[in-house]
Each structure stands twice: as structure tokens, then as C-alpha cells.
């Protein structure tokens, strides 16, 4: 039995966003207990040309919304990228998941060969639905989730693979 495009995308996005939100909740607890400044974490980046923690989480929520919107034909909610706290970023993950849950399998399934236009600063790119998931949305999503996780871990938060996986 083969898997559908919906089955290999939306549930995975939801699970990992739950994982990142859970990791951020553990981070909130640690930072409150130790009286650490959240702003230092939100602005933390591994290297000067990398996005900071806040942007990693924002992008982790953007890719699933963009994927589901392009293939389902439903407008995704737009976010202002104005989060100023871990609570704001957790809420962004939760809002994204709530919207993803409103997208029905039949809106995604059958769009494997649908041609969509990806708007990029370097120029627009045409992709088919399956290619969008496998070569753009999923790799970017996992990259930004992993980088956000790594930043939290690097900054002393005791989280592990099970947290990341949303188990």
C-alpha cells in the first residue's frame, strides 16, 4: 500500500511543530527557574550569517503553511514575524498546527503533479507537488526545526530526541 502526499506531509509537520513547541515550553521553565533573559536565546545564532532562534522557528512554521496552501488552494494565515517571547513562538506553532488540521487530505492528495510557482528573491521557480514536498518544504522545515532544537540544546536546555520528535 502506498502512502498519500497528505499522509507523508501534514501529520509530520504537525508532530514536529508539537515537538518544537514542547521543547520551547521546557526552555521557558528553565529560563524562569534560572531567571535567564529569553531575549538572549531569541537572538542567538550559531554563526553571523545564520538566522537567529526566533527566525528559525518562524521559518519552521512558514514552510508547512506554504506547502499546504500552494497544493490545497486555500489561503494560509499570514503572520507578522513579530514574536517577542518564547510564549509568542509557542503560540505561532500552535496556530500553525490548528490551521494545518483544517486542511483536509482530499485537498492535498492528488496534487503530486500539480504545478505551483515558488516566489523567491532570486526569481520564481516552478515545481510539482511531490517535488515541492521532497525537495523544498520538508528539507527546509526539518532544517529550521533542527537548528531551533540545537540552539536550545546548546544553551543548556535538557531536551532530547524524544522531545524533538514530538513523542
pLDDT digits (tens, 9 = 90+) for 67-106: 999 999 999 999 999 999 999 999 999 999 999 999 999 9
What is the value of pTM for the model shown? 0.96
Kindly report, residue by residue over 40-61, the tens digit of the pLDDT: 999 999 999 999 999 999 999 9
Neighbours of 99 (CB within 10 A): 17
Question: Which pLDDT does position 61 carry in this prediction?
Answer: 98
Question: Which sign, positive or negative, has the C-alpha torsion 86, 80, 163, 51?
Answer: negative
Question: Which pLDDT does position 56 carry in this prediction?
Answer: 98
10-165: CATH superfamily: dinb family like domain (1.20.120.450)
Average pLDDT of the chain?
Answer: 96
What residue ranges do the domains of the chain occupy? 10-165
> What is the maximum span of the chain, computed from C-alpha positions, in angstroms?
52
- d(C-alpha 167, C-alpha 161), whole Å: 9
Amino acid at each position: 500500500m502506498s502512502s498519500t502526499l497528505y499522509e507523508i506531509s501534514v501529520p509530520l509537520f504537525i508532530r514536529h511543530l508539537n515537538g518544537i513547541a514542547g521543547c520551547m515550553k521546557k526552555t521557558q521553565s528553565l529560563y524562569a527557574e534560572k531567571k535567564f533573559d529569553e531575549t538572549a536565546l531569541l537572538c542567538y545564532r550559531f554563526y553571523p550569517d545564520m538566522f537567529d532562534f526566533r527566525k528559525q522557528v518562524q521559518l519552521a512554521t512558514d514552510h508547512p503553511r506554504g506547502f499546504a496552501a500552494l497544493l490545497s488552494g486555500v489561503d494560509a494565515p499570514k503572520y507578522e514575524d513579530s514574536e517577542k517571547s518564547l510564549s509568542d513562538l509557542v503560540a505561532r506553532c500552535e496556530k500553525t498546527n490548528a490551521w494545518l488540521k483544517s486542511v483536509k487530505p482530499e485537498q492535498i492528495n492528488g496534487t503530486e503533479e500539480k504545478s505551483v510557482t515558488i516566489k523567491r528573491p532570486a526569481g520564481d521557480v516552478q515545481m510539482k507537488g511531490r517535488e515541492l514536498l521532497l525537495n523544498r518544504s520538508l528539507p527546509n522545515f526539518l532544517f529550521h526545526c533542527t537548528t531551533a532544537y540545537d540552539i536550545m540544546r546548546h544553551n543548556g536546555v535538557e531536551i532530547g530526541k524524544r522531545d524533538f520528535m514530538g513523542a
